[in-house]
Every structure is written in C-alpha cells, then in structure tokens.
Amino acid sequence: MIRLFGTDGIRGLANQDPITPETVLKVALAAGAEFTKGPRLHRVVIGKDTRLSGYMLEPALTAGFIAMGMDVMLLGPLPTPAVAMLTRSLRADLGVMISASHNPYQDNGIKLFGPDGYKLSQTVEQSIEHRVAAGSPALAAPDRLGRARRLDDAPGRYIEWVKATFPKGLTLEGLKIVVDCAHGAAYKVAPTVLWELGADVIPMGVAPDGFNINRDSGALATAAMQRKVVEEGAHLGLALDGDADRLIVADEKGGLIDGDQLMALVARTFAAEGRLKGGGVVATVMSNLGLEKYLATLGLGLVRASVGDRHVVEHMRAHGYNVGGEQSGHLILADHATTGDGLIAALQVLAVVQRARRPVSECCRLFDSMPQILKSCRGDGPLLEDARVQESIRTAEKALGGKGRILVRKSGTEPVLRVMAEGEDEALVARIVDDVIGAMERAANR
C-alpha cells in the first residue's frame, strides 16, 4: 500500500516523490474519483502559499481534476483557512491547499478538505491512497471534461468573512500593530484586515519571492517581529506562519505569548460571556502543565489530544468543544472556522486588548508556564524501541518523581524524533532531555 498522507496532508521536498507533478497528478485523479458521485457538476477549489514550487503543483492538480470532470476554481495565494471556508461557501466537493505550512521553501505539500470544510478523515485519505495504488481511474468523456478559472474576488471574500468574526461595534482604532506575514499566504490579506478594522499597521514579511517564505520570519522565527514592536513603540506584534493557520503574539515589551496563553485567554473570555462549550479546552500532549492548572482555577478542564490540529478538531467535534489548539499557535475556534486560523485568533485577542485598555503584557499573559524543553533527534520509530532509549525514558520519569512529564514521539512531518520534558526544576528538565537525546544518538550510531 502506498503511504502518502502524514499528520497534515502530503508533504515532502519539492520535485522529489511524493511532491512531484506525476504523483500530484495521480493524487488529483484519485481524489477526483473519490469525490465525483453521479452526473451533477462537481467542483474543486485550489489555493496555495507563495513557494516557487506552487507554480509546478497547481497545474498538475488542475489537470488531474479536469480530467475527472471537475471544474477547478483557482484562488491564488491565500491562507489555508480561506481554502477551507471557500470550499464550503462555493459548495465545492473538495478543497486543496498547496503548502508546507511553516517549513522552508524547499518543501511543499497538499492539504485536502471535504465539502464541509474539514480536513479529510484518515479513512478517506486511505481510500485515496488505495486509488493511487490501483492506477488511473476511469477518466471523464471528452464532453464531460471540467474547466478552470480564477476566482478573482477570493481574497475579498476571505477578508470580509474574517472581519465578521470581530465583535460588532468594536474597532482597532488607537492600536499600533506589527504583523509579520512570513512572506507567505497572508501577505496581502492580513494587513488589509487589520487596517480596515482601524489599526495602525506595520507590515513585515510581505515581499514573497518564492524562496523567502518562513525565512527568519513568521511564527517560528519571531525575533525580528519582537524587535520591531519595541522599536516602533507598538502595542503588540502578530506573527503568522507560511499558510497563516497559526499565530504567535508579542506584547509591547517584545515578550512572546504562545498558543497556550492564547487558548487560556480565549477560554476565559468565552466562559465569562457564556460562550464556551464543552466545559474547557482541547489541546495536545505538548501543552504546558501551567495551562492545565490555570484552567482548573476557572473550573475548566483541559483535554489532551495527539499532536496535530486535525486530532484536536476531531475531539472538539466529537465532544462539543468550541475552543482548542496547540502551543505552537494553532487556535481552532469552532464557532468561526473549521481549522486553525491565525487571523481570526488574532482578532479574538485584539478584542480582549481593546476592551481591557491595559498593556498586552498584563491582559494576555495569564499564567506562569512550567519550565519545558523540547529537542529533536534525527531518526525514526524503531529507535524508540531500543532498550537503551527505553531505559533512559524510565530513568527520566523516575527523576521527575510525578512532578512533571516527559514525552517522546515521532514527528508526523519530518524524519525526526522529538523529546519534550517539563517540571518544576528547569535544570533537571534540561538534563533529562539531553540524556534521552544522547541515548537516541548512541542507538542511531550503533
């Protein structure tokens, strides 16, 4: 069986399998076969970020869907959540986002959304993989071929949808905001949304050239944004990643506010307004213990899902939660969106800031995070079964003595293993992470 899908769609190095025109064409044919049922007109929307390889993958996908009798609507560079929204809004059968999210330009990937705007289930992904393995499906007759056209007003549709999530009667007037778009998919729409709501906007990362997406910018490289906030005397900074589905905030002093703090802020606000559903928040195994303890003081719970926003969304949908996310900055606000949306999350934070009329450092940092360290080691799953690695993990757990956590897992997007530990003693946490990483490296070189 061909294995294509990881934790967040299909991803890899551009122009190397599976991110080649040939394989992408096969995926489009297979997905087209999966989603074309009956004689009615079928439609797919395709968006992308700003990577050079998007110019290669977009035509390959388009050709495949047209060959299956699907009309294709090309959105151009837009955030991943915009593709999810427009899939539903345009009553499309399928949505496709060409992006490798926070990865460098050399990588690319494909995220698929069903007609409900949610990422495909693992069952549907496996069905598509089976179809790819089976070879070319029955193609459309010459008179049933699809057509392709560009949806020129796609950015405007998304901008208005995002603005509609901001509280009515409230504006961003009086706020000076630095926004770093990572030279990615939101380079036009993010500054526009903030400006149209009244903010004084200082844009960064808005000059994509096909190669600079996420380079020293955005949610995973916030140093330049933090400095800019202080230099400009801004009230806060917002950093998005390449496909704008995650958000990291900087306060007026340049201090970072991560996804855990933002989830706490939104949950507290929604609970006070009677809007929080599910009795708490859905996060992942990576979220800090400080978040869990803080929510408990509010009488709210924290449910931990596996890493990946899809797992968070699945639990939210199954159990009726409307706030979830990841420490890395994915915030899923189910009342507004079907996937993480950095801009919508930013507007919820900005609404709190405007109403509080207090510095961001005071109103958006709600708890002290427990010391937490995360490191990575090149390797794959079998390393985790090595006896020496297992022993190092058991030793680490004993050292923490029930006052912290250690988590060792395989990355879903890269050939690396990640080791995370947290506890009250930062020096101890650092030591046990280094010990486990060292055991892995020794096992890998054996």
* Cβ-based burial of 48 (10 A; exposed 0-12, middle 13-18, buried ≥19): buried
Distance (Å, rounded) from C-alpha 46 to C-alpha 114?
12
Question: Which among 53, 89, 99, 101 is annotated as catalytic?
Answer: 101
Structure confidence at residue 20 (pLDDT): 98
Amino acid at 431: R
Lookup result for tokens 């600079």: 212
Structure confidence at residue 1 (pLDDT): 59
Is 361 tagged catalytic?
Answer: no
Give me the average pLDDT of each 10-residue run along the chain (446 residues).
85 97 98 88 96 98 98 98 98 97 96 96 95 93 96 98 97 98 98 98 98 97 98 98 98 97 97 97 94 96 92 96 96 96 98 95 94 88 85 91 87 82 92 92 84
For residue 33, give the H/E element and its range. Answer: helix 21-35
Global confidence as pTM: 0.91
Question: Of 340, 410, 346, 342, which Cα lies nearest the Cα of 378?
Answer: 410
Q: Which residues contact 206 (CB under 8 A, 6 or more apart)?
A: 181, 183, 187, 188, 191
CB 226 within 8 A of CB 178: no
All domains in the chain, ordered by first residue: 10-152 (3.40.120.10), 158-253 (3.40.120.10), 257-341 (3.40.120.10), 372-444 (3.30.310.50)
DSSP 119: B
Question: Of 368, 386, 369, which Cα lies nearest the Cα of 377?
Answer: 386
